[in-house]
Amino acid sequence: MDPGIVRGIGTAILLFSFVVLCVWAWSPAQRRRFEEAASLPLLDDDLSGELMASKAPATGGKRP
C-alpha cells in the first residue's frame, strides 16, 4: 500500500472519531451529567470537611 493511502485512512478514522466524540459530548442525554460536574466546585465546603473527618483514622491526625 502507498503511504499516502495509509495516511488518508488514518486521517479519515481520526476525523470520524472526532465527529462521534462531538456528537456524544453535545447530546441532550449528557447535558444533566455535565451540568452536575460543572457545579461540583460550587458545593458547600462544610459537607466536604465532614466527609474528610469521617474518613480520617482515629490516630488524632498523626501518621504512624
Instruction: pLDDT tens for the chain, 64 residues: list them.
Output: 899 999 999 999 999 999 999 999 999 989 889 888 888 888 876 655 555 566 656 555 555 5
Report CA-CA distances (Å) from 45 to 34, 40, 48, 49, 50: 21, 10, 5, 6, 9
